[in-house]
């Protein structure tokens, strides 16, 4: 805790509300937490930064009583917390908002907030009281919710507000947020940050777990960096920068992606006035979308999620057919849309959700690597799979793409997110594709893995591939894309060229500005 004494003077933080001393936890040979000590002060946001597997979640699980530490002690407001008791943690005023919400979808907001705080047989009589308390909390912290709305009908941002209110309802004085922005839109993220500032102003202490550097920089007062179970650094946020934090987190310098200028090649993918309707509801998912992707360029697709990006990705993946308009690949209009056909055309498709679309978790690595190409040589001949050539290919991809695994026959679902993404990259890019659809390729990955994905995409660009990069991370788009278009309500804007893009302008377009005059009927 060497940096501690110097930092506390500058901002004048409140008393220590939580102290971890020498927390150590071992899982078999893995040292998940190695003698970690830290203090949390009243009225501060402390960011806990680290890559996946650095030990952040283990530490918080120990704090919350889900695990028992092998060594070390936790004290809250000066009192030692009995280990292994979530109940004691709650009673001491520790509240946790998990990355995956723990709400009952079919209950109302009020029910969810009260659930577990009252004995069941008294819940009904206490509802009026609960309603009043919820209203007070929601007003004083600016967390607007409708107490009688069903959680299932709420947006992701609203659900998170319910989770926070749930913790506040239990009189939480210390709030732990585990990757709270992973599922939020940029607007929702900003609203969350405003809420956090209000909470600390009222004397709460917050631990903010994240691996997103710009968020840590924006929201925290202090940063603690974990790497491989060790606390490697502690900084006052105002005295550090993203670059230093990234290096501390990964343990080695991270090169910024270098985008060399490239001559623009021929058009590889062209959409002209494409429209796609939802077959069930008839809702227009994609409207009059026109877009040209050339060889050797990255076109970024920005937009708040749910504005047609998934449909655009499905279209290029061959999962949906256009109802109107034309789609051309390599200058030729195509009429048949099927995933297998897109594979035939040599389109690399990196899907949004690794678990749902990208991989079959219960198959082995090698089986997943041939999922699009198992029908043809060298992987099969006359309906018989040649497992030897499959294994050779798998070994090559595992080596080339640095997939950390026990071997080509390991079960895929046991891989980390980053290694799953490398596996998908290896599968899709092994055949030197000319078109790459990358839908949220770095979502949920840690810095090292993100840098890896970016490097591979830029290599493909340098080799002449055209890349459609769909991302909700504006920093990623601005760093990589040659041109950026914005999607809003199924429409695609005119492209903005690299170097002429202002974040403010993008933000306005994402909110719908500039779309009205194009289509007329669909003003925002």
Partner 1 sequence: MRLEPRTETGIGLRLAAPIAAVAASFLVAALLVLIGGASPFAVFAAVIKGALGSQFAFLETLTRATPLIFTGLAAAIAFRARLWNIGGEAQLYAGAILTVMLGTGALALPAPVLFPLILAASALAGALLLLGPTILKTRFGVDEVVTTLLLNFIMVLVVSMLLDGPLKDPMGLGWPQSKKVIAEAIWPKLVQGKRLHLGFLIAILAALAVWFVNARTTFGYEMRAVGFNPRAARFAGIPVNWVMAKTALLSGGLAALAGVSEVAGLKGNLTLDLSPGFGYTGIVVAMLAALHPVGVIAAAIFVAAMFVGADAMSRTVGVPNYIANVMVATALLTMVAAMLFTRFRLRRG
Coil, strand or helix at 345: coil
Nearer to partner 1, 296 or 418 (CB): 418
From the number of C-beta atoms within 10 Å of its C-beta (0-12, 13-18, 19+), residue 78 rates as exposed
For 48, 317, 380, 439, 519, the CA distances from 370, given in Å and listed in that order, are 39, 17, 10, 20, 43
Nearer to partner 1, 114 or 348 (CB): 348
Nearer to partner 1, 92 or 412 (CB): 412
Residue 100 to residue 93: CA distance in whole angstroms: 21
From the number of C-beta atoms within 10 Å of its C-beta (0-12, 13-18, 19+), residue 10 rates as exposed
Q: At what angle do helices 186-201 and 156-169 cross, to 10 degrees?
A: 20
* Interface positions with partner 1 (CB under 8 A): 67-68, 84, 317-319, 338-343, 349, 351, 356-363, 367, 370-372, 374-375, 380, 383-385, 387, 406, 410-411, 413-414
Place of tokens 């993100």: 450
How near is the Cβ of 356 to partner 1 at its closest, in Å? Answer: 5
Q: For residue 178, how far is the Cα from the chain centroid?
A: 12
Do 60 and 47 form a contact (C-beta atoms < 8 A)? no
How near is the Cβ of 425 to partner 1 at its closest, in Å? Answer: 15
Residue 221 to residue 215: CA distance in whole angstroms: 12
Nearer to partner 1, 346 or 514 (CB): 346
Give the list of residues 6+ apart from residue 186 with CB closer than 8 angstroms, or none: 304, 472, 474, 507, 510
Nearer to partner 1, 227 or 434 (CB): 434
How near is the Cβ of 379 to partner 1 at its closest, in Å? Answer: 8
Locate 442 and state its tokens: 């770095």
Look at strands 332-333 and 324-329 and give their pairing. Answer: antiparallel
How near is the Cβ of 362 to partner 1 at its closest, in Å? Answer: 4
Do 484 and 477 form a contact (C-beta atoms < 8 A)? yes
Place of tokens 């310098």: 253
How near is the Cβ of 301 to partner 1 at its closest, in Å? Answer: 19
Nearer to partner 1, 258 or 382 (CB): 382
How near is the Cβ of 98 to partner 1 at its closest, in Å? Answer: 16
Nearer to partner 1, 388 or 500 (CB): 388
How near is the Cβ of 34 to partner 1 at its closest, in Å? Answer: 19
How near is the Cβ of 241 to partner 1 at its closest, in Å? Answer: 39
Place of tokens 């490239």: 262
Nearer to partner 1, 193 or 387 (CB): 387
């Amino acid at each position: 805790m060497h940096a501690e004494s110097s930092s506390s003077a500058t901002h004048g933080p409140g008393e220590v509300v939580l102290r971890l001393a020498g927390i150590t936890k071992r899982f078999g040979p893995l040292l998940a937490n190695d003698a970690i000590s830290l203090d949390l002060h009243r009225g501060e946001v402390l960011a806990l930064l680290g890559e996946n597997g650095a030990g952040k979640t283990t530490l918080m699980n120990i704090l919350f009583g889900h695990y028992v530490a092998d060594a070390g002690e936790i004290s809250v407001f000066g009192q030692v917390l009995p280990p292994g008791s979530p109940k004691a943690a709650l009673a001491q005023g520790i509240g946790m908002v998990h990355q995956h919400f723990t709400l009952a979808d079919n209950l109302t907001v009020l029910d969810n907030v009260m659930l577990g705080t009252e004995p069941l047989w008294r819940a009904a009589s206490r509802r009026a009281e609960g309603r009043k308390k919820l209203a007070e909390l929601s007003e004083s912290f600016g967390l607007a919710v409708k107490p009688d709305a069903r959680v299932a009908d709420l947006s992701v941002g609203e659900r998170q507000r319910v989770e926070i209110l749930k913790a506040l309802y239990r009189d939480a004085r210390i709030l732990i947020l585990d990757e709270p922005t992973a599922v939020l839109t940029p607007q929702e993220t900003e609203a969350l940050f405003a809420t956090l500032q209000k909470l600390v102003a009222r004397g709460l202490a917050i631990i903010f777990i994240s691996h997103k550097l710009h968020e840590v920089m924006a929201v925290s007062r202090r940063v603690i960096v974990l790497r491989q179970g060790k606390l490697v650094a502690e900084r006052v946020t105002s005295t550090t920068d993203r670059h230093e934090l990234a290096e501390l987190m990964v343990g080695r310098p991270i090169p910024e992606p270098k985008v060399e200028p490239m001559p623009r090649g021929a058009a590889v993918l062209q959409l002209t006035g494409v429209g796609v309707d939802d077959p069930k509801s008839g809702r227009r998912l994609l409207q009059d979308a026109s877009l040209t992707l050339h060889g050797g360029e990255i076109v970024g697709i920005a937009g708040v999620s749910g504005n047609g990006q998934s449909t655009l990705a499905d279209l290029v993946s061959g999962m949906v057919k256009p109802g109107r308009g034309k789609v051309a690949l390599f200058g030729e209009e195509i009429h048949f849309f099927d995933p297998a056909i897109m594979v035939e055309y040599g389109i690399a498709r990196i899907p949004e959700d690794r678990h749902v679309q990208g991989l079959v978790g219960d198959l082995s690595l090698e089986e997943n690597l041939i999922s699009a190409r198992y029908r043809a040589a060298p992987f099969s001949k006359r309906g018989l799979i040649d497992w030897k050539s499959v294994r050779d290919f798998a070994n090559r991809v595992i080596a080339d793409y640095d997939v950390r695994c026990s071997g080509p026959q390991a079960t895929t679902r046991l891989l980390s997110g980053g290694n799953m993404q490398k596996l998908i990259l290896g599968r899709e890019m092994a055949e030197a594709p000319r078109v790459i659809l990358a839908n949220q390729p770095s979502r949920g990955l840690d810095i090292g893995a993100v840098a890896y994905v970016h490097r591979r995409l830029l290599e493909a660009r340098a080799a002449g591939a055209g890349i459609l990069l769909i991302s909700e991370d504006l920093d990623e788009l601005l760093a990589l894309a040659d041109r950026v278009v914005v999607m809003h309500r199924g429409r695609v804007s005119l492209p903005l060229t690299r170097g002429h893009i202002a974040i403010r302008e993008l933000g306005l377009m994402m909110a719908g500005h500039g779309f009205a005059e194009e289509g007329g009927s669909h003003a925002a």
